[in-house]
A = this chain, B = another copy of it.
Amino acid sequence: MHLNGILQESPKTLPILQATFGLERESLRVSQKTGRVSQKPHPKTLGSRSFHPYIQTDYSEPQIELITPIGQSTKEALRFLGAITDVAGRSLDDDDYLWPLSMPPQIEEDEIEIAKLDSQFECDYRQHLADVYGKKLQSMSGIHFNMELGKDLVASLFETSHYDSLVDFKNDLHLKLAQNFLRYKFFLTYLFGASPIAEQGFLDSDLKGPVRSLRNSQFGYVNHDDIKVSYQSLEKYISDIEGYVSSGQLIAEKEFYSSVRLRGSKRNRDYLEKGVSYLEFRCFDLNPFDNRGITQETLDIVHLFALSLLWLDKVEDVDQAIQLGKDINEQVALAHPLDKLPKEAPIQDLLQAFRDLAQHFQLNSYYQDLISKIEAAIEDPSLTIGGQLAQHIQNQSLQDFGRKHGLAYKEYAWTAHYALKGYESMELSTQMLLFDVIQKGVNFQILDESDQFLKLWHGDHVEYVKNGNMTSKDNYVIPLAMANKVVTKKILSQAGFPVPAGSEFDDKDSALAYYPIIQKKPIVVKPKSTNFGLGISIFQEAANLEDYEKALDIAFKEDSSLLVEEFVAGTEYRFFVLDGKCEAVLLRVAANVVGDGKHTIAELVALKNQNPLRGRDHRSPLEIINLGDIELLMLDQQGFTPETILADGQKADLRGNSNISTGGDSIDVTDKMDPSYKELAAQMATAMGAWACGVDLIIPDASQPSLKEQANCTCIELNFNPSMYMHTYCHEGPGQAITPKILAKLFPELDD
């Protein structure tokens, strides 16, 4: 049984990079007005801290903690953190923003309110910490990095190791990692240390000048000197901590603040039977140059660093080596940010391990480049985060810097606020729902990203959601019915609702024989199953037999069945009905510009396109208006060119169709629409048996209400999986939030 050289003896094809990651980031809420720590309570929009898995409060009420679920890669973990940061940023009070630095702005003990948690134990624990360490110390913020080696990787290493017990193997493996972490921690402090100063009044006595990382030094949040825990063996580690807890020097095992923690069980002693399963590295200062507090490169360097710790050998006298490592770390932490590493730091051993590891496992150029960057930063301290941050210190303060960056990150959160950062490849409605999911603290997993397939859960309650509103709340056959125009019409009609009169035909003879019935009416002839306007003929006046026959031929080219329906004149509105209630009404208007007597049409289009809601390819709530062939033809028909200067209030249409996807305007008329139509739409969806349903009504005169004896409107379509975002972010009108209602109905217990 040995661990030294274990990686060196592994095949080159070992899945060395396989691992999972989790991040926890603390950050203080700061008031824009006062420039000091916010005195507001934790935002109510963020649901309940009694269960919230992603957004919690750490020590004090204004200290938000952002927690990612486990990611299958550093990329995924960071994406999670980005999204949670995004949600937190948009959930804060208008006056609050997140402080981007580990060290707080100017602060007094009595400004710091202990977090108002439900758990009495957690409150008592925090009061104890205040008594032992003082409240100010607790206001320092940082990032914890959790890492678990991949299952296949551990299994392969176990095989190589000739250990008999997987538990023993995992314990030894993680203990070795922890030991070496403490020996080489100085490396992380050097590269990523970013707490160079404390604002005036924070420390009892001022520092002489900026340092690399106050937080990773003796001034940081550490146990008192008398707490000395051995890492020589797991048994020793456990019994040392247990000793301090039973003597009362620590209130609980978790009060042992090592910069590396063994993880996987709540009680240390359980590791002996169950094995350590992962490690938590707790030493990272917030990187103020990134809105998330940490970068992709940092994560991957830490990952490589952890693997290099495994590559390096164990030493005989572990505790002595760790003490040496701690001394070096203290030197590095308190050195000037532009100082190089001290000579006694065993950096070459570590760099060699990086290089050997990369060579042995043939890591790709990304990792080779990372190692080069590390080497460069070792040579040139100005390339470290601390080195860069030092340039921003003014009058021994980073208050202005922190404010400027913190506000910029908040502004960034509100940029393209209809999207969820990092998830822009998903549909807007799904992004919006995920925002709500994170905000309210529902657990989620993206089961299939390109398929918009989510798993949501709260306690034992699991819900699957596809495309934002395809859920367990609808039964299977109803959306299938809505997907079929003929079936939908029959069901609505049998329930007594107004639909266009008409009939379906599978052959031309029967369709021709129907002519007597429609010969005096305005009609639409359309293929049964196409949706893109192909093969449709509209006769706003009654059709003669010849034209009718032509229309049949055209429609039969597209489908083997066609519909002949009464043509209904009027304005089309989309009613969004959820669970029997109409939640939104939208009017869609074809792409257009309205003149001001000064600008050309081309200029008006450009001006309209400046709306930040307009983008391309359904990635934004509204689409950019093009000036392509169709639009130019449309202008021409109105006697316009792009150079035409429209009179004030004069309108030019750029499209004949009112689709949002071709630059149309969405107008939220929910509050203006007569309630009788909303009620009618809701009744239609209910008659259909639909939970989430888009009801398209043609209303000839919306100023007249719908009456029981006369609906005054016609339903031309019911839509399953109706678009939600278009009701929320509109060209005109207040907009209606729908995804929060979906979530609240899926998880009504959240409101309890």
Which A residues lie at the B interface, using CB under 8 A? 13-18, 152, 364, 445, 447-448, 450-451, 453, 455, 464-466, 470-481, 484, 486-487, 490-491, 506, 509, 513-517, 519, 560-561, 689
Contacts and interface: CB of A to CB of B under 8 A. Distances in A.
A515 B448 contact: no
A486 B13 contact: no
Contacts of A152: 516-517
Nearest to A483: B451
27 contacts: A13-B515, A13-B519, A14-B516, A16-B516, A17-B513, A152-B517, A447-B481, A447-B484, A447-B490, A448-B486, A450-B506, A450-B561, A451-B486, A453-B480, A464-B478, A466-B477, A466-B480, A466-B481, A471-B477, A472-B475, A472-B476, A472-B689, A473-B476, A474-B475, A474-B476, A474-B477, A475-B475
Contacts of A689: 472
Given A476-B470, A477-B471, A484 B13 contact: no
A447 B494 CA distance: 11
Given A478-B464, A689-B472, A453 B484 contact: yes
Given A448-B486, A453-B481, A466-B481, 19 more contacts: A13-B516, A14-B516, A15-B514, A17-B513, A152-B516, A364-B509, A447-B481, A448-B487, A451-B486, A451-B487, A455-B490, A455-B491, A464-B477, A464-B481, A464-B491, A472-B475, A473-B476, A474-B475, A474-B477
> Which of A17, A453, A465 neighbours the largest number of chain B CB atoms within 10 Å of its CB?
A453
Nearest to A474: B476
Given A484-B451, A486-B448, A513-B17, A479 B477 contact: no
A131 B689 CA distance: 52
Contacts of A464: 477-478, 481, 487, 491
A477 B472 contact: yes
A704 B367 CA distance: 49
Contact of A517 (B15, B506, B513, B519): B15
Contacts of A517: 15, 18, 152
A448 B481 CA distance: 10
Interface SS of A by simple majority: mixed
By Cβ-Cβ distance, the 3 closest A-B pairs, closest first, are: A474-B476, A472-B475, A15-B516
Each complex incorporates copies of this chain amounting to 2
A447 B13 contact: no
Contacts of A471: 475-477
A505 to B, nearest CB: 12
A15 to B, nearest CB: 4
Contacts of A466: 477, 480-481
Contact of A447 (B465, B474, B486): B486
A470 B474 contact: no
Given A472-B689, A475-B472, A484 B448 contact: yes
A476 B447 CA distance: 17
Contacts of A480: 453, 466, 470
Contacts of A17: 513
A13 B572 CA distance: 33
B14 A487 contact: no
Contact of A470 (B364, B472, B477, B486): B477
A560 B450 CA distance: 10
Nearest to A487: B447
A345 to B, nearest CB: 33
Contacts of A364: 509
A514 B14 CA distance: 10
A514 B15 CA distance: 7
Contacts of A473: 475-476
A477 B477 CA distance: 11
A38 B467 CA distance: 60
> Which of A18, A451, A470, A473 neighbours the largest number of chain B CB atoms within 10 Å of its CB?
A451
Nearest to A489: B447
Contacts of A491: 447, 455, 464
Contacts of A476: 470-476, 478-479
Contacts of A18: 517
A148 to B, nearest CB: 16
Nearest to A361: B516
A477 B471 CA distance: 5
A477 B466 CA distance: 7
A447 B486 CA distance: 7
A465 B477 contact: yes
Contacts of A477: 464-466, 470-472, 474
Contacts of A490: 445, 447, 455
Nearest to A479: B476
A630 to B, nearest CB: 30
A472 B506 CA distance: 29
Contacts of A486: 447-448, 451
> Which of A15, A445, A473, A506 neighbours the largest number of chain B CB atoms within 10 Å of its CB?
A15
A14 B517 CA distance: 7
A519 B156 CA distance: 12
A16 B516 CA distance: 9
A445 B490 CA distance: 10
A18 B510 CA distance: 11
A470 B474 CA distance: 13
A87 to B, nearest CB: 24
A549 to B, nearest CB: 14
B487 A453 contact: yes
A750 B17 CA distance: 61
Contacts of A513: 17
Contacts of A450: 506, 560-561
> Which of A14, A152, A445 neighbours the largest number of chain B CB atoms within 10 Å of its CB?
A152
A373 B471 CA distance: 60
A15 B514 CA distance: 7
> Which of A464, A472, A514 neighbours the largest number of chain B CB atoms within 10 Å of its CB?
A464
